[in-house]
Structure 1
Amino acid sequence: MNLHVQKEFPGRGDKIVFVEEGKFQKEGVSPVEFEGKKLSTLLWREPWGRIVYVGIGTHPYKRDTLRKAAGLGVKSLLKIGARDISLDFSPCAEFLPFAAAAVEGAILSSYRFEQFKEQSAQRKNKLEDLRIISGPVSDESLLQKIEKEAQQAVEIADAVNYVRAIGNMPANYITPEVLSQKALELAEKRKTIRVEVFNRERLEKEGFGGLIAVGKGSINEPRLIVLDYAQGESTAQPVLVVGKAITFDSGGISIKPGEHMDEMKYDKMGGCAVLGIVDAVSRLGLPLRLVGIIAAAENMPSGQAYRPGDILQTYGGKTIEVLNTDAEGRIVLADALAYGIKQFNPCLVFDLATLTGACIVAIGKQKAGLFSNREDIAEFLWKQSEDYGDPLWPLPLGDEFDEAISSDVATVKNVGGREGGACTAASFLRKWVGDVPWVHLDIAGPAWITKEYPYLEKGATGFGVRLICRYLMRRIEDKSL
């Protein structure tokens, strides 16, 4: 896809025009038909192409409004055969600072999961050219800034779509081994990334007892995938990003109800997000060292599966009393966090996981639960998350949650009862983090969607990629990383 920033519309192709509520005037269109209400649309045909007018409501305007508006417009145009689309900001130049968000929405809305459809049912066209039409802007430095930010948005959105493409694949296509192959393929493409894969034999030899236990019920053996990105000769402490990738979660011996179990192919989305974050950071050439670790396993019941009542010894020696084999994500993350912190001595740790249904009960499906042992980091992420496109809501840690997972026979037990389930899961993970600055994102709600959003189709969302990439970019800009 080609991106252009220019002052005038070239007079060909199709375009999207953003309209403030109450300010739309066009001969032959009454306010009853269209007046610019938020995310309302009007299709208009001209001799040179088509225009989709998209309402953005009234002031104050947010980046996410422009992201949604552009996505809605692009979706509409792609359905009717568009390939060359302009985002026209010339009628209202005050929206130009939001151009990158609009570009992001356009790219995200262009993705479709059609791999298993018959060819006749697949969309024939794709977005080939995207333009930002600025209008008569005299400040060339502003245009350069907009072009730079828009190109960054393209790279990040492409990485999100890469995550969605893997995330939507079913468990008979994406196993832990295949996910490790995806990481190796990424390293072949991006020469700034090195990948190391731990097979079952190495996991057993080095003491990854949690990952081994969760994966041993399946014929598809577990993998630990380590991606190491560095730009230049960076000697600074790395940022560590850890993801849960349960390629299918049946619940194991503590088997889940059958309803919606097909959606458990999405239990790998934390690990997939790690792939996307490393991909995006490499695309952008960010000047830092970033280590991504993916704990990949398939949680299945069998004669070899781990059981309620088992005691597991994780990497580094801490032990877990298993009360429920469906609380497996925190077990594999314990190994991955312990290894990553010991091996790489990071300055900051993120983990992403579709960890608890309790988080959905607490805050719904559109936001991820945010936990951290650093209030300043948590507050910044919370306040910026909607602008970044991945909204968060802070949830508590505390002594009461530590007490809930206290075990009589091990370091901790893997569940702490019904109350505060997302919080006890986060407290469990904190046992393996210690004092390292750490952010845990429980993405169980927004990791996939079952109805279309303005710029996302049903299925995997790639949640977390935009958030963490833009946070790292901000820290680099502030010279605090």
Structure 2
Amino acid sequence: MDIKIEKGRAEKYPCELLLLFSFESPERLEGPIQSVDMEWKGFISTLMKEGDFKGELFESRLFYTQGAFPAKRALLTGLGKKGEFDLEKWRGAASKAGQFIQDSGVKQFVFPIKKFDSLSEMELAESFVTGLLLGVYQFNEFKTLERDKIKEIGEVILLGEKDEEIKLIGDGLKTGQIISEAVYLARDLVNGPSNQVTPTVLAEKAQQIAKELGMEIQVLEVGQAEAMGMGAFVAVAKGSQEPGKFIVLEYNKGKGWDTIALVGKGITFDSGGISIKPSENMDRMKDDMSGAAAVLATLQVASKLQLPLHLVGIMPATENLPSGKAYKPGDILKTLSGQTVEVISTDAEGRLILSDALTYSLRYQPKAIIDLATLTGACVIALGDYVIGLFGNEESLLKRIEEASSKTGEKVWRLPLWDEYFEYLKSDAADFRNVGTRAAGATIGAIFLSKFAEKVPWVHLDIAGPASIEKERPYIPRGGTGVGVRLLVQFLRDWK
């Protein structure tokens, strides 16, 4: 999709389709839609007065203009009640309008952007573009039949009336595109089948991004990781014939900026290992690398936006499979930290590979560590697939994540991380076990990880619920969602 900016007025601009938004009646029309209504001799006002278009949230109605003004068609989309409007609803409305246009087969449309209340043209443009692009995302790389029936929007023109408006719209457009492209990257990696998105492919993608954007990258092979003492990562990786990769991507190395480590779980397929999962829904276990996908995409955004930070992205990538070389329940593993772990379940492999990744991150002396992982089914039971489980060891860092959440609409909810929960992990044979009882599963997973962050400010994001969904939402289609990318990017943009 080509998105460009031009100078002009909505009611005077010739195009295939003019997109307009309105609040729910009886709010009066204002801005570009008011100007179009006057040119259309009160047609929109009459529609709303008669109840034929109410402006309800995400309501969409398409009309042919019959030559009343230069646009061939006009699409009216509702924003709901004015007093409840925010950027999350704006993103949703933009996505719903985009989906309507795409499904109708229209290839080009125009949308005028004008400052509204306290929201600048830049903020509105960024959120509009983000909602639009994320809403029309399609994963069809492997479809070979009837590709001619795939519908896509070819061109979008954002209109500004003044030079200063055009500058602000341009800034918002650039940021929205960069963020959306990164979410697309994460979604594509999560949606990709595990025979195509292997640890090697993930490492190659990271190397490609590093080369294009001038970042440092190191990819450790399993043998190198073993020589370094990563007993937990290596134990999981040895069960598969696909070689594991320990990926370290570094942005702004040696420039003196604050260091933040981002750690993402990269299990490209999780069978559960010897503690094998039930066959039902096992096909979805290709999404167990959603954390690594989000970290990789976030580093891409940070580089393109030139954020003034030193970022280290650590992505331990492997499959978790049963084999003659696979680790087993009852094994005791020595982690990179020197601590030992008794394996109770090989299906709790994510926390094992993350334990070595968290320890590895400490060598960079980060100001903060954020890890993302599809860690526990217990978090899905607790919070469903709308919300990320949030854990951490420092209040100010937790608040930063919550503030980023409120801006992006990627919802988080705090869960407890009290020392008492460690009782569930005590082992007679090792320093601790990798799982406890069935109780408090999400917290137990987070408590385990906390033992490897030491005293560094750290947050754990359990994205098991929203990483991949069955029912689409306004700008989130079924399948891989790319969750965590926008949350992390906002967190990093706000870092001071």
Which category of TM-score, normalised to the shorter sequence, fits these structures?
over 0.9
1:300 alignment partner in structure 2: 321
Supply the distance in 2 between the matched residues of 1:122 and 1:199 (Cα, whole angstroms): 42
1:32 shift after superposition? 4.4
Conserved in 2, the CA contact under 8 Å of 1:114 and 1:122?
A: no
Segments of 5+ residues of structure 2 without an aligned counterpart are 30-43
Which amino acid in 2 is paired with 1:81?
Answer: G
Matches within 5 A, 1:12-411: 12-22=15-25, 23=27, 25-27=44-46, 31-46=50-65, 48-58=71-81, 59-89=83-113, 96=121, 97-121=123-147, 124-134=150-160, 144-191=167-214, 193-230=215-252, 234-342=255-363, 344-411=364-431
Q: CA deviation at 1:395?
A: 1.0
Determine the C-alpha separation between the residues in 1 that align with 2:225 and 2:166. Answer: 51
User: How big is each residue's C-alpha offset from its partner over 1:19-50, in whole Å with a ceiling of 9 and x where there is no partner?
Assistant: 10114744467754420111221122235333
SS at match of 2:336: coil
2:260–2:366 CA contact under 8 A, matched in 1 = yes
How far apart are the structure 2 equivalents of 1:50 and 1:459? 33
Conservation of the 8 A alpha-carbon contact between 1:5 and 1:147: no
Letter in 2 for 1:327: A
Q: Is the 8 A contact 2:271 2:277 kept in 1?
A: yes
Find the counterpart in structure 1 of residue 39 from structure 2: none
Q: How far is the alpha carbon of 1:436 from its aligned partner?
A: 0.7
Could you say what secondary structure the match of 1:424 adopts?
A: helix
Secondary structure of residue in 1 paired with 2:84:
coil
Alignment deviations for residues 275-299 of structure 1 (CA, whole Å, 9 cap, x no partner):
1001111111112211101011101
One-letter amino acid of the structure 2 residue matched with residue 197 of structure 1: V
Tell me the secondary structure at the aligned position of residue 403 of structure 1. Answer: helix
Once residues 114 and 277 of structure 1 are traced to their aligned partners in structure 2, the CA distance between those partners, rounded to angstroms, is: 23
Matched letter for residue 126 of structure 1 = E
> Which has the larger displacement, 369-378 or 141-150?
141-150
TM-score, scaled to structure 2: 0.90
Please report how far the alpha carbon of residue 90 of structure 1 lies from its aligned counterpart in structure 2 after TM superposition. Answer: 5.0
1:188 Cα offset (Å): 2.3
- Superposed displacement of residue 62, structure 1: 1.3
Write the mapping of 1:422-461 to structure 2, written as runs, cut at 5 A: 422-461=442-481
CA distance in 2 between counterparts of 1:15 and 1:349 reads 45
Report the residue type matching 2:333 in the other structure: L
CA distance in 2, matches of 1:94, 1:174: 44
Greater mean deviation of Cα atoms: 118-127 or 419-428: 118-127
- In the TM superposition, residue 75 of structure 1 has moved relative to its aligned partner by 1.1
CA apart distance, 1:13: 3.3
1:401-457 deviations in Å (ceiling 9; x for gaps): 122112222222111111111111111101000111111100001111111211122
Question: What is the aligned-residue RMSD (CA, Å)?
Answer: 2.1
1:160–1:149 distance in 2 versus 1, CA, 3 Å: same
Q: How many aligned residue pairs are there? A: 470
For residues 86-133 of structure 1, give each alpha carbon's deviation from its aligned partner in whole angstroms, at most 9, with x where no partner exists.
Answer: 333459677644332121101112321001112523555534433333
Q: Extract unaligned runs of 5+ from structure 1.
A: none
Cα gap change, 1:273/1:112 in structure 2, threshold over 3 Å: closer, same or farther?
Answer: same
C-alpha distance after superposition, 1:362-409 (max 9, x if no partner): 111111011111112212322441421311111110012122112222
Instruction: State the alpha-carbon separation in 2 of the partners of residues 339 and 263 from structure 1.
Output: 29
Identity fraction in percent:
37
Compute the displacement of 1:238 (Å): 1.6
Distance 1:413 1:439, change over 3 A: same
SS at match of 1:431: helix
- Equivalent in 4, 10, 14 of residue 11 of structure 1: 14
Moved more, 176-185 or 120-129: 120-129
Q: Deviations over 1:107-161 (max 9, x none)?
A: 1123210011125235555344333335x56xx6565444323321211111111
Cα 1:167/1:15, change in 2 over 3 Å = farther
Asked whether the equivalents of residues 230 and 290 of structure 1 are also in contact (C-alpha less than 8 Å), the reply is: yes
Deviations along 1:306-358, one digit per CA (max 9) or x if unpaired, are 1111111111311111101111100000011101112x111111100000011
Are the aligned partners of 2:332 and 2:430 in contact in 1 as well (CA < 8 Å)?
A: yes
Tell me the TM-score normalised to structure 1 length.
0.92
8 Å Cα contact 1:218-1:301 kept in structure 2: yes
C-alpha distance in structure 2 between counterparts of 1:307 and 1:30, whole Å = 69
Does residue 417 (structure 1) correspond to residue 441 (structure 2)? The answer is no
Q: 1:369 to 1:28 in 2, by over 3 A?
A: closer
Shifted more, 283-292 versus 239-248: the winner is 283-292
